[in-house]
Amino acid sequence: MKSWWWKAVGVLLLLYVVIVGLHTPLAPALVHVSEDKLSPGRADVLVTGYNTRFTADAPQAWLENDDQFVCATSATAERDDRLRVVFDVPAGMRRDLSHLVVRSNGRTLVFHDAFWNPAKGDGIAGTGCTPPEEDSAEVFEFPDRSVLYETIRNLFFHVPMWFTMMWLMTVSLFHSLRTLRDNDLEQDRAAVSAVNTGLLFAFLGLTTGSIWARNTWGTWWTSDPQLNGAAAVTLIYLAYLVLRGSVNEMDKRSRLAAIYNIFAYALMIVFFMVLPRLTDSLHPGKGGNPAFSKYDLDHHLRTVFYPAVAGWVLVGTWLYTLRRRARRIEAWLDDEAHA
């Protein structure tokens, strides 16, 4: 642990995460349409985009549903983020939802399930039109997802905080087991140092999660099993510190704390890994909610997310070693004072 290279790697990874994670643009997207249903006949629709540049070229638009296509009679860019589209909707369109597709600046933007048709058609004759082919060129950018938008960058901070916290609590468990085996106070100091540092990342995880919830769910906190479980785990480990402070005799304190730490770790697994999957949850991958990676963690995000996890774990381990050294010095000074 005295080597410096892994600390430098952790710092460099976080610098990479901050620079690339905050400066990579989000992909353009369609975020709003002025109408939610299209009756047969003329339809005038105002389309709002995000990070779009509609005025830079002549956009094309069409309706798409399986193998049916209805091209717009006109698509006029009013602003970079606003496009007015006019359709002549045929009477035979199916009743189910239709996707709006806009072709602009070589990009194909899709607003899924944008409209529904109140008619009871079972399909128009022919295809109506032939959409243009999509360019094969790929741009390095993050996906623009509904509700998340720019907050998707919090993935590089919020989620790694909890990975780091769990790693540090695992380190603490290891040292607690060694404390019980060897009755070694140095192992006890290592265990509490890991818990101290892990709680720092738990508070950072709660803070970044609350900010994310405010921007996506509209509230700082909601009765979600994942949120409540994270708060419960934080309180459980705070109680570990309270327990230590209530016992003065060092040997007894170390053994009691080690036993408590084992149960605290087991409860952390239950609250983090088990309960959220058994109940309804707003968190992706929990309670029947599809996993985050299915929709949002594309290969561009992975190139930043994985280094973020590695960087935060390395920096968290570094902080743990510093805290452990500080506790060792405190113990030495206390021994000197009582000598």
How many structural domains is the chain composed of? 2
The tens digit of pLDDT for each residue in 262-272 reads 999 999 999 98
103 and 223 within one domain: no
Beta pairing partners, 30: 49
Domain ends where: 115, 139, 158? 115
- Quick one: 193 and 300 in the same domain? yes
Main-chain phi, psi angles of 327, to 5 degrees: -65, -35
Quick check: 276 and 288 in contact, CB under 8 A?
no
Which CATH number belongs to the domain containing residue 104 in this structure? 2.60.40.10
Same structural domain, 64 and 167: no
- What's the chain look like in SS3? CCCCHHHHHHHHHHHHHHHHHHHCCECCEEEEECCCECCCEEEEEEEEEECCCHHHCCCEEEEEECCEEEECCEEEEEECCEEEEEEEECCCCECCCEEEEEEECCEEEEEEEEEECCCCECCCCCCCCCCCCCCCCCCCCECCCCCCHHHHHHHHCHHHHHHHHHHHHHHHHHHHHHHHHHCCHHHHHHHHHHHHHHHHHHHHHHHHHHHHHHHHCCCCCCCCHHHHHHHHHHHHHHHHHHHHHCCCCHHHHHHHHHHHHHHHHHHHHHHHHHHHHHCCCCCCCCCCCCCHHHHCCCHHHHHHHHHHHHHHHHHHHHHHHHHHHHHHHHHHHHHHHHC
pLDDT of residue 274: 85
161 in the same domain as 111: no
Question: What is the pairing mode between strands 68-71 and 60-65?
Answer: antiparallel
In a domain, 6, yes or no: no
Q: Do residues 178 and 321 share a domain?
A: yes
13 is a domain residue: no
Query: Do 181 and 91 share a structural domain?
Result: no
Cα–Cα dist 53/310, whole Å: 36
Given 115, 139, 173, the domain boundary residue is 115
Both 229 and 315 in one domain: the answer is yes
320 and 239 co-located in one domain: yes
The answer to whether position 123 is within a domain reads no
Any domain includes 171: yes
- Domain identity same for 157 and 110: no
Q: Are 99 and 157 members of one domain?
A: no
- Distance separating alpha carbons of residues 262 and 264, to the nearest angstrom: 5
pLDDT in tens, 244-289: 999 988 899 999 999 999 999 999 999 988 887 777 777 765 555 4
Give the model's pLDDT for residue 76. Answer: 92
Structural domain including 37 reads: 29-115
Residue 132 lies in a domain: no
Q: For 321, list phi and psi in degrees, rounded to 5.
A: -65, -35
d(CA 64, CA 98): 6
Q: Looking at the structure, tell me whether residues 216 and 306 fall in a common domain.
A: yes
- In angstroms, the first-to-last Cα distance of the chain is 31
Amino acid at 275: L
Residue with tokens 């390395």: 314
Question: 69 and 179: one domain?
Answer: no
Residue 283 located in a structural domain: yes
pLDDT along the chain (339 residues), means of 10: 84 96 91 86 91 90 80 90 89 73 88 77 55 66 82 93 97 96 92 97 96 89 87 96 91 94 95 82 60 61 94 97 92 73
Of 90, 115, 140, the position where a domain reaches its end is 115
**CB contact at 8 A, 178 and 186:** no
Reported pTM:
0.84
Distance of CA 155 to the CA centre of its chain: 4
The predicted structure's pLDDT at residue 53: 92
* 8 found inside a domain: no
Tell whether 21 is covered by a domain.
Answer: no
